[in-house]
Structure 1
Amino acid sequence: MAEFYIREADSEEARGPYSPERIADLLGAGRASAATLYYDEDREDWLPLSEGPAFQAILHPEQKRVQLKARDLPPVVEPAHHEPPPVTVDEMLAAAEGKSDETRHLRARENRMGKAAALSLPALVLMLALCAFTDIFPYWDIVMTIREERTWSLLLEYPMLILGAVDLFFVLCCILSATDVFPLIRIRAMLGLGFFTYIFWAWGEFPQSLAVAVGSLSLYVCTATLNLYAMILFAILGVGSFGALAAMYFL
């Protein structure tokens, strides 16, 4: 069960760690309030109890119930050996920086998430570049005709060229680390997973259908996860699937 350090806004000394049930007892006894601060390890900051998801049921019960006033409650007797010594803010900040055993695992998790984020962009660049190749290469003669004769209207007759241009735009965005396009890349991935997978399957091209399905799923996952192991797995699957699809044009 999670435990929390708490302190008053005008105090430098923290108390705890307390379980949510123990904090509920302190609230009921008037020894804490909604404005009392607790240390949130995820956000690495002191926040009021009123903002903590773990304390919402305590501060705002769904059903009205009779509560004793603080003066009607017996004093809470806590054995001295059960109460840990006060923890200063400096000690808490040191723990938040990963200098204690309690927070080392949190730093390790953040490190893995950072590596996953760093891997996602190169993987997306490779996958989208291969997608652009498979979109444009079969119509390369049309591309040369458009380039030489400036007949841009031909693009309307070959929508795959437009899709290839969109994929190249996504490649440029990923190179520039413009992660705001990730929702659009997910839409592109779902288009490949649904429409193009079905088209290849309907044409009887089952290897191509499988490659598009696996590659599109990998493209989606690489924009939606920060799990390092999942990122590595789907980056390999995506690049391999789209690479195999591109190679099929030379067979």
Structure 2
Amino acid sequence: MGEYYIQEPGSDEAKGPYDPGRIADLIEAGKASEETLYYDEDREDWLPLMECPEIREAVNPTAKSLSLRPKEVDETSLNREDELLPAMKVDEMLAAAEGNTDETRHLKKKHREAERAAAICLPVLAVIMLLAAITDIWPNVGAITAIQEEGDYALLLKHPLLIVGIADLFLTLCCILSVTDAFPIIRFRMMLGLGYFTYIFWSWGDTTMMIAVALGSFAAWLSTITLNLYTMVSCAIIGIFGMGTVAIMTVLG
């Protein structure tokens, strides 16, 4: 249901925006009439209220005349609300309709930032998941060769980290293909990294790997739930740095 600015014929001041139900209440309270005009954004013109289907339906939903609608209206509250609404010049109203006010410009800026954050999210996650896959698979390259030679894929069960690495490769592909439905799985995977793998490195006394995997996992998790551009950029830097450190140290170690 839309909202409309209204004004009396011959006036240069508009009030609103009101939804159709509110306009119907104003008509019943004598604060507006069928001759009152509303601004039609599509036609860019002021038209009588009854030419708007939504308003006409709100005023007369049962196809009865206005005088037959048995509804009591609290004129005191209507008067009080109207007094609180500042009058708006026509040029100000048109600026609002065209999205040229400070508020609409602020909303558009936030929307653009959210779009940029969303555009960054999937490529960043793809890189982080690929680095995580390298970390999991690299120590098990020998096991992969043995499984291929014997043709016994049940041996995968003896290498749970390799299974995690294969899952990370699958999640990398999901990010490349923009499958955002995989986000809950990625969050679970990153919480696994933040909890289990951080604990493993801590128990080994490897502080550097512990901090790196914790930072990379948390940044990846956070990037799936935020649309703030600055937060997303921070997640990209921290996540790739953290998981990249783990991958490099795994390959070189």
- Give the distance between the partners of 2:199 and 2:31, measured in 1 at CA: 64
Structure 1 residue 228 displacement after superposition: 0.6
- Give the distance between the partners of 2:216 and 2:30, measured in 1 at CA: 58
Query: Aligned AA for 2:239?
Result: G
- Give the distance between the partners of 2:229 and 2:199, measured in 1 at CA: 31
Moved over 6 A (4+): 87-90
Structure 1 residue 74 displacement after superposition: 9.5
Q: Does structure 2 conserve the Cα–Cα contact (< 8 Å) formed by 1:14 and 1:87?
A: no
For 1:191, what is the secondary structure of its paired residue? helix
CA distance 1:199–1:75, change in 2 (3 Å): closer
Q: Does structure 1 conserve the Cα–Cα contact (< 8 Å) formed by 2:125 and 2:220?
A: yes
Query: Aligned AA for 2:156?
Result: L
| Bigger-Rg structure (1/2) | 2
- Give the distance between the partners of 2:242 and 2:128, measured in 1 at CA: 9
- Give the distance between the partners of 2:136 and 2:216, measured in 1 at CA: 14
Q: Within 5 Å, which residues of 2 pair with 1:2-13?
A: 6=4
Partner of 1:37: none
- Give the distance between the partners of 2:210 and 2:134, measured in 1 at CA: 17
Q: Within 5 Å, which residues of 2 pair with 1:80-119?
A: 83-85=87-89, 92-95=96-99, 99-119=100-120
Partner of 1:16: 16
- Give the distance between the partners of 2:176 and 2:77, measured in 1 at CA: 65
Structure 1 residue 6 displacement after superposition: 4.9
Q: Does structure 2 conserve the Cα–Cα contact (< 8 Å) formed by 1:215 and 1:239?
A: yes
Deviations 1:65-89 (A, max 9, x none): xxxx64774984979xx52245899
- Give the distance between the partners of 1:112 and 1:201, measured in 2 at CA: 38
TM-score normalised per structure 1: 0.68
Q: Does structure 2 conserve the Cα–Cα contact (< 8 Å) formed by 1:15 and 1:87?
A: no
Query: Aligned AA for 1:114?
Result: E
Partner of 2:147: 146
Q: Does structure 1 conserve the Cα–Cα contact (< 8 Å) formed by 2:216 and 2:240?
A: yes
Q: Within 5 Å, which residues of 2 pair with 1:36-115?
A: 70=73, 73=76, 76=79, 83-85=87-89, 92-95=96-99, 99-115=100-116
Structure 1 residue 31 displacement after superposition: 5.6
- Give the distance between the partners of 1:31 and 1:191, measured in 2 at CA: 62
- Give the distance between the partners of 2:157 and 2:172, measured in 1 at CA: 22
Structure 1 residue 16 displacement after superposition: 2.8
Partner of 1:155: 156
For 2:227, what is the secondary structure of its paired residue? coil
Deviations 1:194-247 (A, max 9, x none): 111111111212211111111110110111101110111111111001111111
- Give the distance between the partners of 1:26 and 1:203, measured in 2 at CA: 73
CA distance 1:104–1:71, change in 2 (3 Å): closer
Partner of 1:226: 227
For 1:225, what is the secondary structure of its paired residue? coil
Partner of 2:208: 207
For 1:121, what is the secondary structure of its paired residue? helix
For 1:185, what is the secondary structure of its paired residue? helix
Deviations 1:39-69 (A, max 9, x none): xxxxxxxxx9xxxxxxxxxxxxxxxxxxxx6
Query: Aligned AA for 1:15?
Result: K
- Give the distance between the partners of 1:214 and 1:75, measured in 2 at CA: 56
Deviations 1:152-193 (A, max 9, x none): 011000001110010000000000000110011001111111
Q: Does structure 2 conserve the Cα–Cα contact (< 8 Å) formed by 1:120 and 1:231?
A: yes
TM-score normalised per structure 2: 0.68
- Give the distance between the partners of 2:186 and 2:107, measured in 1 at CA: 30
- Give the distance between the partners of 1:149 and 1:228, measured in 2 at CA: 49
- Give the distance between the partners of 2:202 and 2:137, measured in 1 at CA: 20
For 2:88, what is the secondary structure of its paired residue? coil
Query: Aligned AA for 1:216?
Result: S
For 1:122, what is the secondary structure of its paired residue? helix
- Give the distance between the partners of 2:137 and 2:198, measured in 1 at CA: 18
Partner of 1:132: 133
CA RMSD of aligned residues (A): 3.6
Query: Aligned AA for 1:168?
Result: L
Q: Percent identity?
A: 44
Query: Aligned AA for 2:154?
Result: S
Structure 1's unaligned 5+ residue stretches are: 33-47, 49-68
